């Protein structure tokens, strides 16, 4: 069957009549790579299926949550049962306590957890409590790190903001953006100098410990230890945004891998098993400032929603049933990366490959990538050729150079072989 997106093109035009740009999150529109986005009809395991009848091996995984693959039978069965019990009560449930317990056991730096409905909500709320605790206003973030789309952190943000070339959005008041200071990731000296000048005014440093929103970038050895030491020295809080890396790079997130204890942590994606969930948590003395335990207000009609809690709980329970879950998924990711890298070499491309557990990324750059500036040196035109060549062969990667890719437990050796084979054809097109 020849690859077409005719139905998607019609659907996209129709969607644009009612939805800005036709999508509800910008990168989905394919602005970074051009062309028409497939409209998805259903998904199962490692595969997604579009309305034109195309089938794809999926390495987007809904941008991270689907670590078990799509429509996992046990998660789906649990959700069916939960659905019959009602979809929202706005009152406490046992599910919330159980998921919070699992999270605090997995991530020992989190004494208390508050559930919200998205990663954006988690990072927005965590800044409020960090400011209340320290009685300081300024926040430090890193160029190319994305923490959601609220005003304080939509400053030199990666992800869609980079893909669309609008890292600083109109509509963010200067008064708010002015309290956010941006420094370069992996640059200890830059952070140190900033703290020497303004350390007493800084409430918190928020960081993606393993940034996945400028493509996948890895921390240099000891970098995160130094960030921890500097924040501690000045009495600023360290917030790990593990919305993407939590329960993804390891069960205990990047803080387990790098053995760092942040003061506060944000989660999302995997802990919702594909339903809308975010969470923030951390040290008891800080988290007890949150209402109703303390005076810092934060609330949510649908927070701790029973369907979302059920999907998250089922996901974490399945993951923990296999003691080697993370070892296996990491090995599978390494095999895929090695295969793609070997294909790239055949064509003389010395591209940059990064992996963190089941997250991986490929920069179309011959220079090492360690921060936002070096990520942006990538050849996005070559990436677009590669991306479309893969899509046409039934391999679905994120439609942007500046996004990470995700392996799931459902991906098979056959999927991996097919992906590596398709890469050979795609690199051939890039070389032409």
* Spatial distance between the Cα atoms of 72 and 59, rounded to a whole number of angstroms: 16
Asked if 208 interacts with ligand PLP (CB under 6 A), we say yes
Q: Which of 15/271 has CB closer to ligand PLP?
A: 271
Q: Among this protein's residues, is 241 annotated catalytic? A: yes
Shortest separation between residue 93's beta carbon and ligand PLP, angstroms: 22
Alpha helices (H) along 135-243: 159-163, 174-177, 188-198, 223-234
Asked if 119 interacts with ligand PLP (CB under 6 A), we say yes
- Interface mask toward ligand PLP for 160-199; x: CB under 6 A: ----------------------------------------
Whether 311 contacts 272, CB under 8 Å:
yes
* Number of residues written out for the chain: 432
* Spatial distance between the Cα atoms of 66 and 60, rounded to a whole number of angstroms: 9
Beta strands in 104-178 (DSSP E): 112-116, 138-142
Asked if 241 interacts with ligand PLP (CB under 6 A), we say yes
Among residues 56, 63, 280, 427, which is the contact residue for ligand PLP, using CB under 6 A?
Answer: 63
In the three-class reduction of DSSP (H, G, I as helix; E, B as strand; rest coil), residue 293 is classed as coil
With contacts defined by CB under 6 A, name the span among 140-148, 178-186, 256-264, 410-418 that binds ligand PLP.
Answer: 140-148
Q: Which sign does the torsion angle of CA 103, 109, 115, 117 carry?
A: negative
The pairing of strands 138-142 and 180-183 is parallel
DSSP class per residue in 11-44: HHHHHHHHSGGGSSSGGGG-TTT-S-PPPEEEEE
**Pick from 270, 165, 273, 184: nearest CA to 227:** 184
Asked if 118 interacts with ligand PLP (CB under 6 A), we say yes
Q: Which of 52/121 has CB closer to ligand PLP?
A: 121
Q: Which of 301/321 has CB closer to ligand PLP?
A: 301
Whether 253 contacts 242, CB under 8 Å:
yes
In the three-class reduction of DSSP (H, G, I as helix; E, B as strand; rest coil), residue 340 is classed as helix
> Which neighbouring-strand residues pair with 260?
none
Shortest separation between residue 255's beta carbon and ligand PLP, angstroms: 14
Question: How big is the site for ligand PLP, counted in residues (CB under 6 A)?
Answer: 17
With contacts defined by CB under 6 A, name the span among 3-11, 119-127, 344-352, 383-391 that binds ligand PLP.
Answer: 119-127
Shortest separation between residue 337's beta carbon and ligand PLP, angstroms: 20
299-304, long-range: CB < 8 A, 24+ apart: 300/115, 300/116, 300/117, 300/121, 301/88, 301/90, 302/88, 302/117, 302/276, 303/114, 303/115, 303/116, 303/117, 304/92, 304/93, 304/95, 304/96, 304/115
Out of 241, 263, 371, 415, the active site residue is: 241
Shortest separation between residue 127's beta carbon and ligand PLP, angstroms: 12
* Spatial distance between the Cα atoms of 182 and 306, rounded to a whole number of angstroms: 37
Among residues 213, 352, 355, 419, which is the contact residue for ligand PLP, using CB under 6 A?
Answer: 213
Q: Among this protein's residues, is 156 annotated catalytic? A: no
Near ligand PLP in 245-304, by CB under 6 A? 268, 278
Asked if 243 interacts with ligand PLP (CB under 6 A), we say yes
With contacts defined by CB under 6 A, name the span among 93-101, 184-192, 207-215, 423-431 that binds ligand PLP.
Answer: 207-215
Near ligand PLP in 77-106, by CB under 6 A? none
Among residues 36, 54, 123, 265, which is the contact residue for ligand PLP, using CB under 6 A?
Answer: 123
Q: Among this protein's residues, is 324 annotated catalytic? A: no
Out of 146, 185, 258, 351, the active site residue is: 146
Among residues 29, 54, 120, 152, which is the contact residue for ligand PLP, using CB under 6 A?
Answer: 120
With contacts defined by CB under 6 A, name the span among 71-79, 116-124, 186-194, 383-391 that binds ligand PLP.
Answer: 116-124
Q: In what order do the strands lie in the sheet with 359-363?
A: 352-356, 359-363, 405-406
Residues with a catalytic annotation lie at 146, 241, 269
In the complex, which residues of this chain contact ligand PLP (CB under 6 A)? Answer: 63, 118-120, 123, 146-148, 159, 208, 212-213, 241, 243-244, 268, 278
């Amino acid at each position: 069957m020849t690859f077409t997106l005719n139905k998607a093109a019609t659907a996209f035009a129709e969607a644009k009549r009612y939805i800005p740009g036709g999508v509800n999150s910008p990168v989905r529109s394919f602005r970074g790579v051009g062309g028409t986005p497939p409209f998805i009809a259903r998904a199962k395991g490692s595969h997604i299926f579009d309305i034109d009848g195309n089938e794809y091996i999926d390495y987007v995984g809904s941008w991270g949550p689907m670590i078990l693959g799509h429509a996992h039978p046990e998660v789906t069965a649990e959700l069916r049962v939960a659905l019959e019990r009602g979809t929202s009560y706005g009152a406490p449930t046992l599910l919330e306590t159980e998921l919070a317990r699992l999270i605090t056991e997995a991530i020992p730096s989190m004494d208390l957890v508050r559930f919200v409905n998205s990663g954006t909500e988690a990072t927005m709320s965590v800044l409020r409590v960090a400011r209340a605790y320290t009685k300081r206003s300024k926040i430090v973030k890193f160029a190319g790190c994305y923490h959601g789309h609220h005003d304080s952190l939509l400053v030199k943000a990666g992800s869609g903001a980079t893909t669309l070339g609008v890292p600083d959005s109109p509509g963010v008041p200067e008064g708010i953006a002015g309290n956010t200071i941006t420094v370069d990731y992996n640059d200890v000296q830059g952070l140190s100098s900033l703290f020497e000048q303004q350390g007493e005014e800084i409430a918190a440093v928020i960081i993606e410990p393993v940034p996945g929103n400028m493509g996948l970038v890895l921390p240099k050895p000891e970098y995160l230890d130094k960030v921890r030491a500097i924040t501690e020295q000045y009495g600023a809080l360290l917030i790990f945004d593990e919305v993407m890396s939590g329960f993804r790079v390891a069960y205990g997130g990047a803080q387990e891998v790098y053995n760092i204890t942040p003061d506060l942590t944000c989660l999302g994606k995997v802990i919702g098993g594909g339903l809308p969930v975010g969470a923030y948590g951390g040290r008891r003395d800080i988290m007890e400032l949150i209402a109703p335990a303390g005076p810092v207000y934060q609330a949510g009609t649908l927070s701790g929603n029973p369907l979302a809690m059920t999907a998250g709980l089922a996901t974490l329970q399945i993951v923990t049933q296999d003691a080697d879950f993370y070892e296996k998924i990491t090995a599978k990711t390494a095999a895929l990366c090695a295969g793609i890298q070997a294909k790239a070499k055949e064509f003389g491309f010395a591209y940059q490959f990064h992996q963190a557990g089941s997250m991986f990324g490929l920069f179309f750059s011959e220079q090492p990538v360690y921060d936002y500036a070096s990520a942006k040196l990538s050849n996005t035109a070559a990436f677009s050729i590669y991306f479309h060549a893969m899509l046409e062969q039934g391999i679905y990667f994120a439609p942007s150079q500046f996004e990470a890719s995700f392996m799931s437990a459902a991906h098979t050796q056959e999927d991996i072989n097919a992906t590596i084979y398709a890469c050979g054809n795609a690199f051939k097109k890039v070389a032409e």
